[in-house]
């Protein structure tokens, strides 16, 4: 029985298989294959590009569902307005034809109605260009881009539409039509929750402001979200710097109504806290009492967040100066609500000391590495020092070889090692100038000069100059090696030849000098110079000073100077000072001999709004060496653009007889200036000044007291050198002296 059942099952399976095979063979007559796939009516789009996205391939079984998916794939390419498929059936297979209607291409993009934003700016921001496929969805996206540009400029009611102009060859022009509307400005800024400070006081702290009467000329009333956010930070800091440790300023609520913006700023002032106890805990590198002397927050009457931040920086710098570059300083602030006081404990963890493993110089293509390294106050394998690193950067800027100096410290081969990358951006240091102008001394003149402050990338200074004018001719040469024998010993040589027509005589001279300098203290250098001058004096008038000696005069001198210079830059400084004292002795040979002392002091200090104050004073004393001459051109005269402005050149001097000027053997001079930027990036500044000074001698007579003047001017540190145009007015002028004068010069300033 079991066997019979098995036989029955086998026979059943055989019968079912025969039935299935017979049906498959019978249906094969209705199955078709694809013998060809074509694209029709395409003009710009290659057929191969279209067929790459389809599944239907030659030799595949024809399948209508697959063709429906291919239609969707072609449409998703975004290049066609319409797509349909046709099938040509034949006994040897079916031909599938995709018939497409291409979207037009954009020939030109135009804008109309725009005055606030020009066409070029709009084209820079949209992502449609000439030659691209006209896509409605892309057009709508770019409409939002344009509207966003207008909102950034506070034209929140701007509306943008588009027009399509159909052209031949399946092309079209696209035009964005813009209705700009009026600029939306701030009507009111309202504070909610403030009681300690009134709204007007808070509004004065903000750059964001309500629309004012002069809004057409200024930017008052315009909304800048980034600027508004900075205002919120500023108000928060103001509260927290004045005792309100828990003050919170909410995000501004901005409401647009028609052509106006309404801003509401909610404030939670909290309680006002006074300063309580200040303490230090942790690792001390110097006695705790010494560290506490650097903490300033304890001197505040009320809690002051900025003072805490400054104290953290101060403590961090103290530790960093001793090699602990990774020191952690954490202020633990505890509010005592019962007494309304704040107690602060600074927790200090010094961590491991850090050493400079390697110092890498980058970005210098001209300046040699050693020229940069010799200015550094930090060295490889030495302890980290933040103050020395800051001074190194300052000294590199003072070289005036670099536009930018960036310091990038990073971890070295171990936790206690630091790699220091110093990246510089060089700027041109060589100049060639040719020009002319007018000065009070020479009248019309022309000049040409070649100078290089970083000769061959070695830091050497080379200067050649020629100047000729109505009354003078001068040729000069100078060369300075700042690091002779690779030590900070500067050495220089100078040579010159000149001819000048003074009012009462003519002078023709040539000479030169050899000079050395060496650092003495911080920002301080000492100099010694030997100089030789041979002057031929001719054409002496009858009204000349008795200290003009005809014929050849030889001066052989040596001078010693000490100069302190901490100015942040050589030209147009904004802070720092320069002081010097010079002792000169002539009489090492020749017929001219004298002893001279000159002291000078100048201070620059930043004021407000980018303005700078300058105080300058100098004085000198000279005496003739016995049996030798003190010539007129070595005596002291004041007046002119580099001393007391408004007076004639050498207009201030002792006189003898019928107003014969003889020059002084003593003098003092004072100058006060207030400088303000006109075009900061171009180095154009304006100034107001007050000058005073006088010169005296044992013989002859001088004006009592000091002669003074005041005035104004402009200065431009042009590519050809500093240009000065200044008008001085003489205060209390003498009869026949005039009220003052305009003066112009090209060259250095005092």
Beta bridge partners of 489: 484
Q: Is residue 356 part of a domain?
A: no
Q: Which helix (H) or strand (E) holds 125?
A: helix 119-125
Question: Taking the alpha carbons of 72, 77, 82, 88 in that order, is the dihedral positive or negative?
Answer: negative
Q: Do 546 and 512 sit in the same domain of this protein?
A: yes
CA atoms within 13 A on the CB side of 412: 19
Residues 368, 411 share a domain: yes
Domain that holds residue 395: 361-426
Q: Do 225 and 332 belong together in one domain?
A: no
Residue 447 counted as domain residue: no
Phi and psi at 214, nearest 5°, equal -95, 25
Torsion 28-30-31-33 (CA) sign:
positive
Query: Where a domain ends, among 250, 268, 286?
Result: 268
Side-chain half-sphere CA neighbours of 603 within 13 A: 8
Looking at the structure, tell me whether residues 575 and 545 fall in a common domain.
Answer: yes
Q: What is the largest CA-CA distance in the chain?
A: 163
Q: Can you point out the beta strands (E) in 591-649?
A: 594-606, 612-624
Contact 395, 422 (CB under 8 A): no
Q: Are residue 137 and residue 281 in the same domain, yes or no?
A: no
Tell me, yes or no, whether 642 lies in a domain.
yes
Q: CATH number of the domain at 46, please.
A: 3.10.20.310
Structural domain ending residue among the three candidates 231, 250, 268: 268
pLDDT confidence of residue 21: 40
Strand intervals (E) in 74-128: 80-90, 93-102, 105-112
Residue 431 lies inside a defined structural domain of this protein: no
749 closest CA partner among 715, 720, 708: 715
User: What is the predicted pLDDT for the residue at 748?
Assistant: 41
Residue 525 to residue 579: CA distance in whole angstroms? 11
Q: Which of 556, 711, 743 is nearest to 641 (CA)?
A: 743
> 3-class SS at 538?
strand
**What pLDDT is attached to residue 147?**
92
Residue 441 falls within a domain, yes or no?
no
Q: Are residues 171 and 249 in the same domain?
A: no
Q: How far apart, in Å, are the Cα atoms of 710 and each of 231, 493, 518?
A: 41, 39, 39
Residues 6+ apart with CB under 8 A from 276: 336, 339, 341, 342, 343, 344
Q: At 595, which CATH number?
A: 2.40.160.50
Under a CB-based contact definition with an 8 Å cutoff, are residues 74 and 98 in contact? Answer: yes
Tell whether 116 is covered by a domain.
Answer: yes
Q: How far apart are CA 121 and CA 125, in angstroms?
A: 7
Alpha-carbon torsion, ordered 252, 257, 259, 264, to 10 deg: -20
Structurally, how many domains does the chain consist of?
6
pLDDT along the chain (750 residues), means of 10: 38 39 42 88 84 88 88 84 87 90 88 91 90 86 92 88 88 92 89 93 91 72 88 95 94 89 94 94 93 91 94 94 93 94 95 94 93 93 92 90 92 91 90 59 71 92 88 92 93 95 89 96 94 94 88 96 90 89 95 97 92 96 94 93 89 88 94 92 89 93 92 82 85 87 63
Element of type H or E holding 7: helix 2-27
Task: Give the residue among 594, 649, 642, 597 at the shortest CA–CA distance from 616.
Answer: 642
Q: Could you give the CA distance from residue 474 to residue 501 in angstroms, rounded to a whole number?
A: 12
Query: Residue 558: CA atoms inside 13 Å, Cβ hemisphere, count?
Result: 4
d(CA 250, CA 268): 8
DSSP category for residue 625: P
In a domain, 471, yes or no: no
Report d(CA 693, CA 670) in Å as an integer: 6
* Same domain for 737 and 609: yes
157 and 200, same domain (yes or no)? no
Q: How far apart are CA 25 and CA 69, in angstroms?
A: 29
d(CA 478, CA 675): 31
User: Do residue 712 and residue 569 come from a single domain?
Assistant: yes
Distance of CA 69 to the CA centre of its chain: 59
Do 228 and 264 belong to one domain?
yes
Asked if residue 332 is part of any domain, the answer here is yes
The 3 state secondary structure assigned to 559-582 is EEEEEEECCCCCCCCCCEEEEEEE
Whether 284 and 370 map to the same domain: the answer is no
What is the pTM for the complete model shown? 0.61
CB 118 within 8 A of CB 127: no
pLDDT at res. 443: 63
Q: Clarify whether residues 308 and 175 are in a common domain.
A: no
Final residue before a domain boundary, out of 179, 214, 239:
179
What is the predicted pLDDT for the residue at 430? Answer: 82
What is the crossing angle of helices 305-320 and 225-240, to 10°?
90
């Amino acid at each position: 029985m079991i066997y019979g059942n098995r036989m029955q099952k086998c026979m059943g399976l055989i019968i079912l298989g025969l039935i299935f095979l017979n049906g498959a063979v019978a249906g094969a007559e209705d199955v078709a294959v694809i013998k060809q796939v074509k694209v029709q009516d395409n003009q710009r789009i290659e057929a191969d590009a279209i067929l790459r996205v389809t599944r239907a391939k030659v030799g595949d079984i024809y399948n209508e569902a697959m063709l429906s998916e291919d239609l969707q794939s072609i449409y998703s390419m975004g290049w066609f307005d319409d797509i349909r498929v046709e099938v040509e059936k034949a006994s040897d297979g079916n031909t599938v034809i995709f018939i497409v209607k291409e979207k037009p291409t954009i020939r030109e993009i135009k804008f109309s109605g725009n005055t606030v934003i020009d066409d070029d700016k709009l084209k820079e921001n949209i992502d449609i260009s000439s030659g691209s496929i006209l896509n409605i969805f892309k057009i709508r996206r770019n409409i939002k881009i344009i509207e966003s540009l207008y909102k950034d400029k506070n034209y929140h009611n701007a509306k943008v539409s588009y027009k399509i102009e159909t052209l031949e060859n399946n092309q079209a022009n696209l035009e964005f039509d813009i209705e700009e509307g009026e600029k939306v400005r701030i009507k009111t800024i309202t504070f909610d929750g403030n009681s300690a400070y009134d709204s007007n006081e808070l509004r004065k702290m903000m750059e964001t402001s309500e629309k004012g009467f002069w809004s057409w000329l200024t930017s008052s009333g315009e909304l800048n979200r980034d600027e508004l956010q900075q205002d919120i930070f500023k108000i928060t800091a103001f509260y927290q710097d004045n005792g309100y440790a828990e003050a919170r300023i909410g995000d501004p609520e901005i409401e647009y109504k028609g052509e106006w913006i309404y801003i509401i700023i909610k404030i939670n002032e909290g309680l006002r806290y006074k300063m309580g106890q200040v303490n230090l805990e942790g690792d001390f590198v110097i006695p705790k009492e010494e560290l506490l002397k650097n903490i300033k927050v304890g001197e505040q009457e009320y809690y002051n967040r900025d003072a805490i931040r400054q104290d953290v920086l101060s403590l961090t710098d103290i530790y960093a100066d001793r090699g602990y570059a990774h020191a952690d300083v954490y202020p633990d602030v505890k509010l005592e609500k019962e007494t309304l006081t704040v107690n602060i404990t600074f927790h200090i963890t010094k961590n491991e000391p850090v050493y400079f493993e390697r110092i890498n110089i980058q970005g210098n293509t001209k300046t040699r590495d050693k020229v940069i390294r010799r200015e550094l106050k930090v060295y490889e394998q030495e302890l980290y020092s933040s103050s020395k690193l800051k001074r190194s950067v300052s000294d590199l800027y003072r070289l005036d070889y670099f536009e930018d100096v960036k310091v990038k410290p990073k971890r070295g081969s171990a936790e206690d090692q630091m790699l220091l990358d110093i990246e510089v951006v060089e700027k041109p240091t060589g100049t060639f100038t040719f020009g002319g102008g007018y000065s009070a001394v020479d009248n019309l003149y022309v000049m040409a000069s070649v100078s290089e402050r970083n000769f061959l990338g070695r830091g050497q200074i080379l200067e050649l100059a020629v100047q000729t004018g109505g009354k003078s001719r001068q040729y000069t040469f100078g060369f300075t090696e700042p690091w002779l024998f690779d030590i900070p010993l500067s050495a220089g040589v100078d040579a010159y030849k000149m001819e000048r027509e003074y009012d009462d005589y003519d002078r023709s001279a040539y000479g030169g000098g050899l000079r050395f300098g060496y650092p003495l203290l911080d920002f301080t250098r000492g100099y010694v110079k030997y100089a030789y001058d041979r002057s031929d004096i001719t054409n002496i008038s009858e009204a000349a000073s008795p200290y003009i000696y005809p014929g050849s005069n030889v001066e052989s001198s040596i001078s010693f100077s000490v100069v302190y210079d901490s100015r942040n830059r050589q030209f147009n400084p904004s802070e720092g000072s320069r002081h010097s004292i010079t002792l000169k002795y002539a009489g090492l040979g020749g017929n001219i001999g004298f002893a001279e002392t000159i002291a000078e002091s100048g201070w620059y200090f930043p004021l407000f709004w980018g303005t700078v104050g300058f105080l300058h004073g100098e004085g000198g004393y000279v005496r003739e060496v016995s049996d030798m001459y003190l010539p007129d051109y070595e005596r002291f005269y004041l007046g002119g653009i580099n001393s007391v402005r408004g007076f004639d050149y050498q207009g201030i001097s002792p006189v003898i007889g019928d107003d014969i000027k003889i020059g002084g053997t003593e003098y003092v001079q004072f100058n006060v200036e207030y400088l303000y930027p006109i075009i900061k990036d171009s180095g154009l500044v304006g100034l107001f000044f007050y000058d005073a000074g006088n010169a005296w001698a044992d013989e002859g007579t001088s004006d009592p007291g000091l002669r003074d003047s005041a005035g104004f001017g402009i200065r431009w540190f042009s590519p050809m050198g500093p240009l000065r145009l200044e008008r001085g007015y003489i205060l209390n002028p003498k009869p026949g002296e005039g009220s003052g004068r305009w003066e112009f010069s090209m060259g250095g300033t005092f």
